[in-house]
Amino acid sequence: MNSEALQKVRRDLHKIPELGFQETKTQEYLLQFIEELPQDYIEVKKWRTGLLVRVQGTDPSKTIAYRADIDGLPIVEETGYAFASTHEGQMHACGHDFHMTIALGTLARVSQSPPRENVLFLFQPAEENPGGALPMLQSEEMKTWWPDEIFALHIAPEHPVGTVATKEGLLFANTSELYIDFKGKGGHAAYPHLTRDMVLAASQYTVQAQSIVSRAVDPLDSAVVTIGKITGGTVQNGIAETARLEGTMRTFKADTMDLLKNKIEGLAKGIEHSHECEIKIDYGSNYYQVKNDGTYMQPFQRIVEDLGYSFVESKAAMTGEDFGYMLKEIPGFMFWLGVDSDYGLHNGSLKPKEEALEVGVNIVERTIRSL
Ligand SMILES: CC(=O)N[C@@H](CCC[C@H](N)C(=O)O)C(=O)O
């Protein structure tokens, strides 16, 4: 596939972002693309809304897996692209359109000229929410094609095209989603003394939650508590009976996450008491840290530099990735691929440069052929 063909696939996929475990059109698109490839060495299994594609190696001693996540986000697109999302309120704002295109571009190359080792392409649903990696890993389909090694990439808006960044050990954080429901007593705005105002309770909770990291976490450790969404009330001149906070927590150490949860619950008890209300906490999905196996770093750096690209040592990030579950079970690594966008991940204006698609395919193909 040349760069124009890669661009077309990326644009087709960009138009049809779907949320976790709803990726039916995406799965159909992937299947159609794969059906048009030479079939001699390929086998395909469906898993929920995802796919596993196995390429038979010429003289295999192992199976190397490459994972691409396939879901979009509930974000309104603001790119102004002619090929913008046709699904209202949903967007590929985390680059999974790129991840899939790079996997398909690589699959197209290895299906024509298979490498020595077997290759397993994992098109994994629901990376953003609620997490597809763990159930995919536990599936029968995966068990029958269990790989010996695995790797994956994520686009990096802050790096230029042609630059790859990664590091040995911890790359991405442990994560936990956070959903907090408040129940008080609604009423007329003019009679606040007869009510229990949940807009106020949720607001105070939000402010107080910001002191958890600054006052409970060791300053030499790192953690994040972010409330990304507040909803509550029904009308401007009414007191809100209910409110909801939605957020996420991130830590580099697994036991620091336990500390955050403990503080989140303690804070809820205090607010329940002072606002005479009920609070329910749900931690949604939790992702395990992404920890790279150091033995891959030097060979991978050599692959990247031999292709004429730049390799930089990255810092660990507070982003999360359910690929961490795969790396917990299977040796391998993850890397950032530079795509040079003025707007970052999870931003409605994210515009990764499409020249990075071919860079990604070159690196993934060479890695598969070299490992
Ligand atoms: C790379 C990236 O942006 N990943 C997401 C993963 C989401 C984890 C989970 N749904 C949560 O919100 O905690 C991220 O937000 O880091």
Contact of 155 with 101, CB cutoff 8 Å: no
pLDDT at 367: 98
Q: Which residues are annotated as a binding site?
A: 94, 96, 128, 154, 346
d(C-alpha 289, C-alpha 61), whole Å:
29
Assess whether 280 and 299 both reside in one domain: no
Closest CA to 75 of 49, 100, 96, 102: 96
Assess whether 89 and 117 both reside in one domain: yes
d(C-alpha 120, C-alpha 55), whole Å:
6
Confidence label for 207 from pLDDT (cuts 50, 70 and 90): very high
Among 286, 317, 337, the domain boundary falls at 286
Among 286, 306, 322, the domain boundary falls at 286
pTM attached to this predicted model: 0.92
Assess whether 120 and 51 both reside in one domain: yes
Among 286, 311, 332, the domain boundary falls at 286
Assess whether 16 and 135 both reside in one domain: yes
Question: In a mutational test of the pocket of ligand 1, which residue from 345, 347, 350 has the highest number of ligand atoms less than 8 Å from its CB?
Answer: 345
Residue range 120-148: average pLDDT? 97
Which domain does 63 fall in, by range?
Answer: 3-170+289-370
Q: Which residues are annotated as a binding site for Mn(2+)?
A: 94, 96, 128, 154, 346
Total count of domains within the chain: 2
The partner residues of 334 in beta bridges, in order of sequence, read: 152
What CATH number should be reported for the domain holding residue 250? Answer: 3.30.70.360
Confidence label for 256 from pLDDT (cuts 50, 70 and 90): very high
pLDDT at 252: 96
pLDDT at 290: 97
Give ligand 1 pocket residues (Cβ under 6 A).
Answer: 94, 128-129, 154, 175, 177, 248, 285, 287, 319-321, 345-346
pLDDT at 188: 98
Question: Which residues have a Cβ under 8 Å from the Cβ of 247 and sit 6 or more positions away?
Answer: 177, 178, 179, 180, 225, 226, 227, 228, 229
Assess whether 164 and 178 both reside in one domain: no
Question: In a mutational test of the pocket of ligand 1, which residue from 67, 75, 94 has the highest number of ligand atoms less than 8 Å from its CB?
Answer: 94
Assess whether 84 and 66 both reside in one domain: yes
d(C-alpha 348, C-alpha 320), whole Å:
19
Assess whether 157 and 180 both reside in one domain: no
Question: In a mutational test of the pocket of ligand 1, which residue from 321, 323, 335 has the highest number of ligand atoms less than 8 Å from its CB?
Answer: 321
Give pLDDT tens digits for 216-225. 999 999 999 9
Percentage of the chain modeled with pLDDT above 90: 99
Kindly give the distance from the C-alpha atom of residue 219 to the centroid of ligand 1, in angstroms, as a whole number: 23
Ligand 1: residue whose CA is nearest its atom 11: 177
Give pLDDT tens digits for 239-254. 999 999 999 999 999 9
Assess whether 41 and 142 both reside in one domain: yes
Assess whether 120 and 189 both reside in one domain: no
Ligand 1: residue whose CA is nearest its atom 5: 320
Ligand 1: residue whose CA is nearest its atom 7: 128
What CATH number should be reported for the domain holding residue 42? Answer: 3.40.630.10
How many residues does this entry show for the chain? 371
The widest CA-to-CA distance across the chain, in whole angstroms, is 79
Residue range 63-75: average pLDDT? 98
d(C-alpha 333, C-alpha 296), whole Å:
7
Assess whether 95 and 112 both reside in one domain: yes
CA torsion, ordered 73, 163, 308, 64, to nearest 10 deg: -50
Give pLDDT tens digits for 332-356. 999 999 999 999 999 999 999 999 9
> Residue 317 has which token pair?
């990030």
Ligand 1: residue whose CA is nearest its atom 3: 319
Assess whether 208 and 243 both reside in one domain: yes
The partner residues of 155 in beta bridges, in order of sequence, read: 337
pLDDT at 72: 98
* 174 C-beta neighbours (distance < 10 Å), count: 24
Task: Indicate which residues carry an active-site annotation.
Answer: 69, 128
Kindly give the distance from the C-alpha atom of residue 295 to the centroid of ligand 1, in angstroms, as a whole number: 27
Q: Output the average pLDDT for the chain.
A: 97
Confidence label for 325 from pLDDT (cuts 50, 70 and 90): very high
pLDDT at 13: 98
Burial class (CB in 10 A: 0-12, 13-18, 19+), 311: middle
Assess whether 158 and 23 both reside in one domain: yes
Residue range 52-57: average pLDDT? 98
